[in-house]
Structure 1
Amino acid sequence: MSRSIFATATITALALSSIMVVSAGAASPAAVTAPRSDSPAPASASRDAPATSATLLGELAVAQLTPAQAVAKAVSEASANGINTHISVTSRASGQVLAQSGNAGTQVASESVVKLMIASYYLVLVGGYQHQSASVLNQLSYMIRYSDDATANSYFTSSAVPTIAARYGMHSTINATDRVGHWGAVRITAQDMTTFLYRAARDPQVGPWLMPVMAHVAAVGSDGFNQAFGMNSLSGTHGSKQGWGDDQVWSAANKVINSVGYTDKYYVAILQNSYSYPDPARATATYAARTIQSSVTAPAPVRNGDFVRTAGVGGVYRIAGGAPIYVSTFAGFRGSTAVRTITADQWKALRSVPASGTFLQATVSGEVYEVVGGAPIFVSSWAAFGARQPTVQVDRNAISQAGRAGVWSHLSFYPADGTFVTASSNSQVYRIVAGTPTYVSSWANFGGRRATTKVDYQAIWHAGQAGRWSHLRYYLPDGTFIRTTASSGEVYVMAGGAPIYVSTFAVFGGARPAQSVDAGAISRAGGGGQWSHLRAKPTNGSMLRDPRSGSIYRVAGGAPLYIPDLTGLAPYSRWVDIDPAAIARGGQAGRWSHLQQRPADGTLLRSVQSNRVYRVSRGHASILTSWAGYGGVTQPTVRIPQMTFDRAGSGGVYNHLV
């Protein structure tokens, strides 16, 4: 309180539950004193209790809400009653902000809440409550417990609020802006007040005295105003300080009902302003306090195997490896399929994909997959892992639809780039790039040992095959840019399974992202075994393009043959842009060796127009008249336009045949 007009205002009488005051648990070295002998006797808790709607009374017993949900309900209820409510809830144990209304940082007139700061100032001023006189402590205690204005008028000083605000980091708390002595108009915020409560409680000069005093706030103030609302309406462990008045001079809605304090779990600030007085604001403060007090900060944890749903997210999911896997049907699931509802915060805390090393078993088929870099990699036998591993049964459709958007997005089709895996048979290490296992010859190439996930070696051996094996590629896909781990950091672009050197990104219009691969994977490309996931030369028929000139080439026997016309080649018209220097310098050693200047001897070509077959020898293409030299068996050929033959050796783009 701060204005006498409220002492005579009409208050509708409707009794709330009786008040049972319990100490906050901190031992108080200074006894809490009784009211001064000349003060009015406290009225009963039921006299002049705030009016409370039937709706509010019927909803006060709230269970299984989080603090955030409780705050949302309190704000909604207050708004429905024409009250602007500013709320902050902080953990008593850690000081962590658990929930706030959107306006928790907006200033509201303090009214008598400022008396907490006044009292704290006179404790700090002398080096702590232990050094303050019993007489002053007695008067400050009375001021807080009975919200006595006369005491506040005597003790208020313009230094009190700035000193305490600075001490506890209350950045939005300031003296009144109309006149400093107007202590009811001190500007506070809900966020600052929970900060004050947390830090003051831990301040050895203040907390051991202040918290027990707040636990003994009277039901009726010294002016007869019923203050058994909000935090002072609670049972169980609690403490409070109330404030009421019409001192919010900077807004039209200047009637204020405030309540700040603590429960066994929380520090709470409920600041309210409106056009009405004093009710229904006292009732909405009580609703807020009780709803917050009954909220639960730690909902039951989400565990692997749980079936869950949450508001705002369609469908049911099963938790596997900490991620939600969509359930399109319950058919085929073993055991209970009871579904629990989890909070939005719990949903947000889930992983986007299951942790690597999680084993999934598909319904119906019973196939087992291991999650690696977010993707399901088939397990052909438990022998690869030494013994059967724990699995989570999931909808088989989640496996078959892996990599799709929406509800299916919690499994990827290919493992994430940069995932390291170890083959179960020989402990060879591979780094996943564009879904392809690229061999790692030494950890030194990647700055030291990295975490790996053991995978069934059969998954690497069968990579690129259809069905269950399709979640790994055998060769890096065309157009993928890779960078070697060598000090030079050479860049290549993949074409036909082979790395083609990139001397400059300028030909591609600018830098492109490139994944790191072991330098040996380039130098030993096509070497077989662990090196076989890159080819030494692009596969026959691969299409290449010089992005500067637009010239298109088709690879045959490792050499790029110019294609002046795509007629008849429509099914093969997709190309990869490459650095033209790789074409000009093909056949040179080192980085340029992945293209040749001329096709390898024995390469077979076929004219698109005449269908004649040619055999290359020393760069010259001669017509092949019979398959007799091949046992009469037709051999694979590379189709190119007749003009490429006709103009062979004529210079420029046609010089790849002579």
Structure 2
Amino acid sequence: MVSGQAPGHAEHRTVYVIAGGAPIYVASFDHVGKNQPVTNVSLAAIHNSGGTGVWNRLRKFPANGTLLSGQAPGHAEHGTVYVIAGGAPIYVTSFDHVGKNQPVTNVSLAAIHNSGGTGVWNRLRKFPANGTLLSGQAPGHAEHGTVYVIAGGAPIYVTSFDHVGKNQPVTNVSLAAIHNSGGTGVWNRLRKFPANGTLLSGQAPGHAEHGTVYVIAGGAPIYVTSFDHVGKNQPVTNVSLAAIHNSGGTGVWNRLRRRPADGTVVSGQAPGKAGHGTVFVIAGGAPICVYNWANIGGSRTATNIDLVATENAGKSGRWQYLSYYPVDGTILLGYGSSKYYHVSKGRPQELPSPTPSEKGRAVAVDQQAIDRAGQPLTHLLGPQSAGGGTGPSDETTPAGGSSFGS
């Protein structure tokens, strides 16, 4: 154990226990054993851990494979064990999964709970770093030994090491941690789906789509034609292209959605192109135009996607992760109007008496998009003419779609 010394500093005399080469904050000596010797060190050595030169004698985060036991007598999670992967603590259900007779370091459970924090809590990550490789261990299970690469906090199945880089270290974790990713309590150190804005590159040497890049929006991979549309100099994580192609599947494939979750807000980016900056809300897999933030209840965080992906939505191949029109059966709520609509073959039809179930699964969208159905950016078809054909509004030039907020 070490005590960081810096008289006058708010963290002067804070105590840390070394685990896997990194200093982990100790909230109470009860958590690490009373009457243990403590060595005074410069607090700057703690703050600069993971650095170079004179600062390279402490790691920023514990080494992969380090085992921690979270200590907090009386707490329901007292004594729970975690294995470090990519700087984050992943819950272990059995020592059989990480190697028996491995040393375990006691740490304050609070350090686990506050991982990813600032100040004294910044020596554990909330989620493993992008590119971290995990192997799910559960002897006898059909998925025992399956390998995953972390992207945006979520484990994405790897079909070949050729896709993520050979000779990369792999950390054994309990397969249950993969299966319960996105959960609460001990399971909240892996995401169910990658975070919005995560960039993936689908790897499959020899395939026509090898190297294609996607941005995550609402859990789904949306094809990117140019880094100018999602932000230059962003990190990109290599994944198996098969994980993209099988998104929305079951078993090992269930860590990417087929299409973005309902209610996801995206902004279509294509500098210099008409429609650049248009905001959409996803409903039934389709991007529905938002003409003003007030029309959906106020501003929200929007994920930048490629505007070209919205224009090619519904096509095959790399474009298939957005629908052009909402899938049949989607229920829309015109925000502020209290009107509910059932979408059939791309057309919203008002429901005079929606059921509680229909209300419960309705997606709030801009009422103007429904009123302007038939204009391209709405991604809704207009009403049919009396003769059963398509009404004239289906080919109307969008009004306001490219000038968001008007």
By the TM > 0.5 criterion, same fold? yes
1:88-140 superposed Cα distances (whole Å, 9 cap, x missing partner): xxxxxxxxxxxxxxxxxxxxxxxxxxxxxxxxxxxxxxxxxxxxxxxxxxxxx
Which residue of structure 2 aligns with residue 452 of structure 1? 170
Q: Structure 1 residue aligned with 2:294, among 567, 571, 574?
A: 567
Per the alignment, do residues 612 and 310 of structure 1 end up closer, same or farther by CA in structure 2, a change over 3 Å counting? closer
In the alignment, residue 355 of structure 1 is paired with which amino acid?
A
Is 1:608 paired with 2:335?
yes
* Residue 250 of structure 2: aligned partner: 528
C-alpha contact (below 8 Å) 2:31/2:106 kept by paired residues: no
Cα displacement (A) at 1:627: 4.5
Cα distance in 2 for residues equivalent to 1:633 and 1:512 = 40
Q: What is aligned with 1:421? A: 134
CA distance in 1, matches of 2:231, 2:37: 55
Match of 1:326 in 2: 25
| Shift in CA distance, 347/567, structure 1 to aligned 2, threshold 3 Å | closer
Matched positions, count = 349
> 2:120, 2:339 → 1: CA distance?
53
| SS state at 1:472 partner | coil
For 1:640, the aligned partner's letter is: V
Structure 1 pair 635/397, CA: closer, same or farther in 2 (3 Å)?
closer
1:490 and 2:241 aligned: no
Amino acid in structure 1 at the alignment position of 2:97: A
Which residue number in structure 2 is paired with residue 93 of structure 1? none
Matching residue within 591, 595, 612 for 2:322: 595
Given candidates 357, 363, 366, the residue that maps to 2:71 is 363
Cα gap change, 1:646/1:595 in structure 2, threshold over 3 Å: closer, same or farther? same
Over 3 Å counting, the alpha-carbon distance change for 1:308 and 1:615 in structure 2 is: same
For 1:82, the equivalent position in structure 2 comes to: none
Shift of 1:580: 0.9
**Higher percent of residues as strand:** 2
Distance of aligned partners of 1:348 and 1:449 in 2 relative to their CA distance in 1, 3 Å threshold:
closer
Partner SS, residue 124 of structure 2? coil
* Counterparts in 2 of 1:461 and 1:601: CA distance versus 1, 3 Å: same
Answer yes or no: is 1:384 the counterpart of 2:97: yes
Note closer, same or farther for the CA distance 1:397–1:655 as it changes in structure 2 (3 Å cut): closer
For 2:348 and 2:176, the matched residues in 1 are separated by 42
Partner in structure 2 of residue 374 of structure 1: 87
1:308 aligned partner: 2
1:208-607 matched pairs, under 5 angstroms: 307-309=1-3, 312=6, 314-334=13-33, 336-341=35-40, 348-364=56-72, 365-385=78-98, 387=100, 389-425=102-138, 426-487=144-205, 488-508=210-230, 510-547=232-269, 548=271, 549-570=276-297, 573-607=300-334
Corresponding letter in the other structure for 1:327: V
The Cα offsets for residues 543-582 of structure 1, whole Å up to 9 and x where unpaired, read as: 1112342211111111111111222523672211111110
Are 2:345 and 1:618 equivalent residues in the alignment? yes
CA, structure 1 residues 654+405, in 2 after alignment: closer, same or farther (shift >3 Å)? closer
Q: CA deviation at 1:655?
A: 4.6
1:492 Cα deviation (Å)? Answer: 0.9
Distance apart, 1:612 and its partner CA = 1.6
Q: Counterpart amino acid of 1:328?
A: A
Per the TM alignment, residue 386 of structure 1 is displaced from its structure 2 partner at its CA by: 6.0
What per-residue deviation string (whole Å, max 9, x for no partner) do you get for residues 265-286 of structure 1? xxxxxxxxxxxxxxxxxxxxxx
Q: How big is each residue's C-alpha offset from its partner over 1:342-370, in whole Å with a ceiling of 9 and x where there is no partner? A: 68799741222111111111222222111
Q: Residues 655 and 452 from structure 1, CA distance in 2 versus in 1: closer, same or farther, beyond 3 angstroms?
A: closer
Q: What are the Cα deviations for residues 581-604 of structure 1, in whole angstroms up to 9, with x where unaligned?
A: 101111111100011111111111
Q: Flag the structure with larger Rg.
A: 1
Shift of 1:309: 3.2
In the alignment, is the contact (CA less than 8 A) between 2:340 and 2:354 conserved in 1?
A: no
Question: What SS does structure 1 have at the residue aligned with 2:291?
Answer: coil
1:442 deviates by: 1.1
Work out the CA distance in 2 between the residues paired with 1:396 and 1:347: 27
2-structure distance, mates of 1:590, 1:391: 48
Q: Which stretches of structure 1, 4 residues or more, deviate above 6 A after TM superposition?
A: 343-347
Does 2:356 correspond to 1:638? no
| Greater share of residues in helix | 1
Measured in 1, the distance between the counterparts of 2:157 and 2:367 equals 41
Point out where structure 1 has 5 or more consecutive residues left out of the alignment: 1-306
SS at match of 1:453: strand
- Determine the C-alpha separation between the residues in 1 that align with 2:88 and 2:24: 12
Relative to structure 2, which stretch is displaced further, 468-477 or 382-391? 382-391
Q: 1:609 to 1:476 in 2, by over 3 A?
A: same
In the alignment, the residues of structure 1 paired with residue 98 and residue 57 of structure 2 have an alpha-carbon distance, to the nearest angstrom, of 30
Paired residues of 1:560 and 1:656 also in contact (CA < 8 A) = no
Fraction of identical pairs, as percent: 37
TM-score (norm 2): 0.79
Measure, in 2, the Cα distance between the counterparts of 1:433 and 1:655.
30
Cα 1:646–1:523 shift into 2, 3 Å: same
Distance 1:346 1:325 in 2: 20
Q: Structure 1, residues 202-250: CA drift from partner, whole Å, max 9, x if none? A: xxxxxxxxxxxxxxxxxxxxxxxxxxxxxxxxxxxxxxxxxxxxxxxxx
Alpha-carbon distance in structure 2 between the residues aligned to 1:506 and 1:360: 42
Separation in structure 2 between the aligned mates of residue 545 and residue 429 of structure 1, nearest angstrom = 33
Q: Tell me, what secondary structure is at the counterpart of 1:331?
A: helix
